[in-house]
Structure 1
Amino acid sequence: MNAPHLEIHLDERDLAAALRADVRTGLTAAPKWLPPKWFYDARGSELFDEITRLPEYYPTRAERSILAARAGEIARITEAKTLVELGSGSSEKTRLLLDALLAHGTLGAFVPLDVSASALADAVARLDTAYPALSVRGIVGDYTRHLHHLPDGGSRMIAFLGGTIGNLPPAERATFLRGVRGVLDPGEWLLLGADLVKGADVLLPAYDDAAGVTADFNRNVLRVINRHLDASFAPERFDHVARWDETHEWIEMRLRAREAMRVPIRALDLTVEFARGEEVRTEISAKFRPDGLRDELAAAGFRIRQRWTDDAGRFTVCLAQASDD
């Protein structure tokens, strides 16, 4: 059995410094904003897992159905020897790819990358038990900063699933995709999951469910700031808002102040003022059209070899190959 291995390129001090910088920058901006990565402490991760099981939230089920149907085809086309997953979390969906690649006889290594050392350690331990013939090397890092730590060569496929690509604004998305292309050799692979443009009648309930789980998830960023930066946010004084922006073709999640308030953030020696009705944008989730996705990948140096959708045509998984330099 290969012993699981964890490389730490992002520690608690790095995360604390990033949180301080993001909160100071975002909450002193006009309009205010916070990055969605700060939803995900232990409670936030539990809430998101609950969201993925809600009847309104289709992306997880849609992507899983595609992978279940197409994993064998992906294995045959790529013959990947190393599978890398960015933002891996628990790596549950990825087991469909691992099983197919191992059955095809090519896979030797799995490299999950995630910002959470504890979640990654748990996932690596479980995978090492489930796949004793597989070399598992976990990398604790940020996929926007630490791609250069990925192992070199060996017929690699990088998987970036869950529609997470939509959380990046267009300029950051372009930079990220170029960064992924920069660490791949010509002929290597990117497997990308992306949510597709559809009617607001389907999109909005997915981000504003009847049970209020997404609202609780959205407010969790305030609890994270309270705990780590000695702030005094009262999350119940903020309404959850989900809005479809037709111009940018993305969902925005926001927190709207129910009343005027002043909130001290003691660790930053900062007091943030909110007007009644003022909003903080906490997430965008861009939705894609096939031609636009093709063009963005081409601009980054990728050519789509195959693209699949679920039966309802709501979500897509693209298999793209790094073009010759």
Structure 2
Amino acid sequence: MTAPDPVVSVLLDPGWASGALVADVRRGLGERPLRLPPKWLYDDRGSELFDRITRLDAYYPFRAERAIFQRHAAEIAAACDATTLVELGSGTSEKTRLLLDALHDTGRLRRFVPLDVSEGTLRQAAADLSARFPEVAVEAVVGDFTLHLGQLPHGDPSEGGGRLVAFLGGTIGNLYVEERAAFLGALADSLEPGEWLLLGTDLVKSADRLVAAYDDAGGLTAAFVGNCLLVLNRELGADFDPDAYRYVPFWDPTLERMDLRLRAEVPQRVSIPGADLVVDVGLGEEIQVEISTKFRPDGVRRELGVAGFEVTATWTDPDGDFALTLARRR
């Protein structure tokens, strides 16, 4: 069978990235504490650095989640009746292909809807997946999962099943508590009762292992986190001196999250013309760039329950480092 061309819908305005970056910089660097959202780490250089990080021995999350799919994808596929798979923040959909294989083997899969902000990556992945699964309609969406949940394609009642939304990679941990509640609530509102969520969460473990995963000796993670300053210099004409900041990762045992920051080694006045902003950064002052919350299964169940989901199954990797939780919209 000849693979049909994938459908690609672009929901982001052409100027979305620049407008969103300016808004985030004004909000995050215009008040204290200083903060930048992690999504601005992922330009071409940042994405390449992160791909290298996922292959480091100490960085377990990618391998652990993939191991769950390798062992349990068929069980996940059998545990839900979805005919449409939606993936939020899909990227290349590398791990998701194991789930797609399993759903395809059930004979129920009719459609795959990957959503990502990177149009180039999404188009390539959509073309690859159309060739791999010619019987499955691939309807890619260039969009932001914080903005466009309500505009995702719905399941077809004539197919006898609804949607399974996959939100993988532990990305949920990059959201603060109130942001997670708002996101999960909005996701529940976008689904029909009986539709599904598959959520990937990194689990709490020893502080030594966590810090090692986010502070490699080769400096890849430091370069990745520091990349946000290069993005601001390039996109908004800022004059950050990246060499004047030191990468500082630490484990917060109270909030059970990794906190990734850049600490100023010298005081600086930074001009950001594109955001019409001047920031005085004091000696030792830190810019929080990313958090990565780690979860406990009971906590995941509780947060999903508040949002309107009922957990039906949880799978972990052999070492218990990572979890995939299947939940149904009540």
Deviations 1:180-203 (A, max 9, x none): 111111111100000111110110
Corresponding residue number in structure 1 for 2:25: 23
Amino acid at match of 1:231: A
Is 2:184 the partner of 1:183? no
Q: 2:87 aligns with which of 85, 88, 91?
A: 85
Is 2:239 the partner of 1:237? no
Secondary structure in 2 matching 1:100: helix
- What is the percent sequence identity of the aligned residues? 54
Q: Do 2:266 and 2:284's aligned partners in 1 also have CA atoms closer than 8 Å?
A: yes
Corresponding residue number in structure 1 for 2:159: none
> After superposition, where does 1:297-308 map in structure 2 within 5 Å?
297-308=304-315
Amino acid at match of 1:167: N
Q: CA separation in 1, counterparts of 2:258 and 2:101? A: 34
Q: Do 2:83 and 2:155's aligned partners in 1 also have CA atoms closer than 8 Å?
A: no
Corresponding residue number in structure 1 for 2:168: 161
Unmatched runs of 5 consecutive residues or more in structure 2: 157-161
Task: Give the C-alpha shift of residue 12 in structure 1.
Answer: 3.5
Unmatched runs of 5 consecutive residues or more in structure 1: none
Q: CA separation in 1, counterparts of 2:133 and 2:43? A: 28
Task: Give the C-alpha shift of residue 270 in structure 1.
Answer: 2.1
Q: Do 2:30 and 2:277's aligned partners in 1 also have CA atoms closer than 8 Å?
A: no
Q: CA separation in 2, counterparts of 1:103 and 1:4? A: 21
Q: 1:107 aligns with which of 100, 103, 109?
A: 109
Corresponding residue number in structure 1 for 2:218: 211
Corresponding residue number in structure 1 for 2:5: 3
Deviations 1:13-65 (A, max 9, x none): 01110100111111121110000000010111111111110111000000000
Q: Do 1:84 and 1:112's aligned partners in 2 also have CA atoms closer than 8 Å?
A: yes
Q: Do 1:115 and 1:142's aligned partners in 2 also have CA atoms closer than 8 Å?
A: yes
Aligned length: 323
Amino acid at match of 1:300: A
Corresponding residue number in structure 2 for 1:273: 280
Provide the alpha-carbon RMSD of the alignment.
1.0
Q: CA separation in 2, counterparts of 1:30 and 1:166? A: 22
Moved more, 91-100 or 128-137: 128-137
Q: CA separation in 1, counterparts of 2:243 and 2:123? A: 34
Moved more, 210-219 or 119-128: 119-128
Q: CA separation in 2, counterparts of 1:178 and 1:153? A: 19
Amino acid at match of 1:33: R
> After superposition, where does 1:1-325 map in structure 2 within 5 Å?
1-154=3-156, 155-323=162-330
Q: Do 1:153 and 1:185's aligned partners in 2 also have CA atoms closer than 8 Å?
A: no
Task: Give the C-alpha shift of residue 2 in structure 1.
Answer: 2.1
Secondary structure in 1 matching 2:48: helix
Deviations 1:151-181 (A, max 9, x none): 1124210000000000010111011111111
Q: CA separation in 1, counterparts of 2:300 and 2:325? A: 9
Secondary structure in 1 matching 2:271: strand
Q: CA separation in 2, counterparts of 1:185 and 1:267? A: 42
Task: Give the C-alpha shift of residue 279 in structure 1.
Answer: 0.2
Amino acid at match of 2:74: G
Q: CA separation in 1, counterparts of 2:86 and 2:155? A: 12
Task: Give the C-alpha shift of residue 117 in structure 1.
Answer: 1.1
Secondary structure in 1 matching 2:306: helix
Deviations 1:95-139 (A, max 9, x none): 001100111111011000111111111111111122222110111
Secondary structure in 2 matching 1:288: coil
Amino acid at match of 1:227: R
Amino acid at match of 2:28: G
Amino acid at match of 2:200: G
TM-score (norm 1): 0.97
Q: CA separation in 2, counterparts of 1:79 and 1:53? A: 34
Q: CA separation in 1, counterparts of 2:120 and 2:228? A: 19
Q: Do 2:87 and 2:165's aligned partners in 1 also have CA atoms closer than 8 Å?
A: yes
